[in-house]
């Protein structure tokens, strides 16, 4: 009797394509994804991915190039359209949780010759709060400056953004996200092409966020730093490969499944893998 009910539930889930979250997602879960599919043309970039990110954790999304890491983030946020799937942020639809999400796009996604100073960019993080008509006040500027200070860029506030190095640009983007005072931070390749000082500054900020009880999810490409920087991982290659605490999910088997066995054994041995 019980067994057949279980089978019926399974069958129903299969029929529904698992695109609905079956039960209410607890409000402390920063992001839950169910059956998310994103496609460029007719080739899925992300196929039917489920994910449930841990609260107060730092999660690395890892996988090979073209595995859909950034796509997963963007689609979850509604930046790019999804073919199917459902997303909950702190138990709510994304639209209702916008104020609790801070997104840091890839640095290369914008034209840095845009006429703006470092301060202007950080103030953009406050636009939603300020609204259309109200003026930006000294308090807003002070808040923005404090965020710049957190990433070590306060001295650059008046600088045109095109004059910054890649690492400095990345830190400005992080400061803009900090200005939102969100609870969930989504970072797309925050360490790509940045100098060592920036990498340290960013990881310090992220660790402070975690101490404040915020959740951080970052697309990450450098497997050698996963164990040092993150406590959770999410492995993806179009489909989900593994998720969980680094100690459980960051295994050789999972990496081989995600990277198709293309990682050399000497390299794998440096990664302090679990299991």
Partner 1 sequence: MPPMAGVWPRRTCPSWSWPAKPMDGFLDALLLDAGYNARLVAIGAGLLGLSAGAAGTFLFLRKRALVSDAVAHSTLPGIALAFIAMVALGGDGRWLPGLLIGSALSAWAGLLAVQAMTRRTRLSEDAAIGAVLSVFFGLGVVLLTVIQTMSAGRQAGLESFLLGSTAGMLYADAVTIAVGGALSVLAIWILRRPMTLVTFDAEYAAARGVNVPRVDLMIMGLVMAITVIGLKIVGLILIVAMLIIPPVTARFWTDRSGRVIWIAALVGGVSAYTGAALSAAAPALPTGPIIVLISAFLFALSLFFAPARGVAAALIARRRFQRRVHRRQGLLALARDEIIHDGLTLRVLQDEGLIRPDGVATEAGRAQAAKVARDEHRWAVAREVHQDSGLTGRYDGLTPIEEVFTPDEIEEFDRRIGGPVGVA
Between residue 200 and residue 259, which ones bind partner 1 under the rule CB under 8 A?
none
Contact with partner 1 (CB under 8 A): which of 53, 90, 103, 230? 103
Beta bridge partners of 101: 184
What 3-state DSSP class applies to 47?
strand
Q: How many other C-beta atoms lie within 10 A of the C-beta of residue 267?
A: 11
d(CA 103, CA 106): 10
d(CA 30, CA 184): 6
Site string for partner 1, 50-79 (x = CB under 8 A): ------------------------x--xxx
Q: What are phi and psi of 268, to 5 degrees?
A: -60, -35
Provide the minimum distance between the beta carbon of 212 and partner 1 in the complex, in angstroms, as a whole number.
21
Q: Which stretch binds partner 1 (CB under 8 A): 57-65, 98-106, 225-233, 246-254?
A: 98-106
Tell how strand 84-89 and strand 215-219 pair up.
Answer: unpaired
Radius of gyration of the chain (CA): 20
Between residue 112 and residue 171, which ones bind partner 1 under the rule CB under 8 A?
114-117, 120-121, 124, 127-128, 130, 132-133, 160, 162
Provide the minimum distance between the beta carbon of 170 and partner 1 in the complex, in angstroms, as a whole number.
13
* H-helix segments, the chain: 2-15, 69-77, 118-124, 127-130, 138-150, 166-179, 196-211, 226-229, 246-249, 252-259, 265-269
Q: Which stretch binds partner 1 (CB under 8 A): 27-35, 54-62, 100-108, 243-251?
A: 100-108
Site string for partner 1, 17-56 (x = CB under 8 A): ----------------------------------------
Residues that bind partner 1 (CB under 8 A): 74, 77-79, 95, 98, 101, 103, 105, 109-111, 114-117, 120-121, 124, 127-128, 130, 132-133, 160, 162, 176, 186, 195-197
């Amino acid at each position: 009797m019980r067994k057949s009910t279980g089978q019926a539930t399974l069958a129903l889930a299969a029929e529904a394509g698992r695109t609905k979250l079956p039960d209410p997602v607890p409000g402390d879960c920063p992001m839950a994804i169910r059956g998310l599919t994103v496609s460029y043309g007719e080739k899925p970039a992300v196929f039917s991915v489920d994910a449930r990110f841990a609260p107060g954790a730092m999660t690395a999304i890892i996988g090979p190039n073209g595995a859909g890491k950034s796509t997963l983030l963007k689609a979850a946020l509604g930046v790019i359209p999804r073919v199917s799937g459902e997303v909950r942020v702190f138990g709510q639809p994304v639209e209702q949780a916008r104020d609790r999400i801070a997104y840091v796009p890839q640095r290369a996604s914008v034209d840095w010759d845009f006429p703006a100073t470092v301060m202007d960019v950080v103030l953009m993080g406050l636009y939603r709060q300020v609204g259309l008509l109200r003026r930006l006040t000294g308090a807003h500027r002070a808040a923005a400056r404090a965020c710049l200070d957190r990433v070590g860029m306060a001295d650059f506030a008046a600088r045109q953004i095109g004059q910054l190095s890649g690492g400095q640009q990345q830190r400005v983007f992080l400061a803009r996200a900090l200005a939102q005072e969100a609870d969930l931070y989504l970072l797309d390749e925050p360490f790509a092409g940045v100098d060592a000082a920036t990498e340290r500054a960013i990881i310090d900020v992220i660790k402070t966020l975690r101490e404040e009880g915020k959740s951080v999810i970052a697309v990450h490409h450098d497997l050698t730093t996963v164990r040092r920087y993150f406590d959770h991982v999410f492995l993806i290659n179009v489909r989900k490969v593994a998720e969980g605490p680094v100690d459980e999910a960051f295994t050789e088997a999972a990496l081989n499944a995600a990277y198709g066995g293309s990682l050399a054994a000497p390299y794998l041995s440096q990664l302090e893998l679990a299991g």
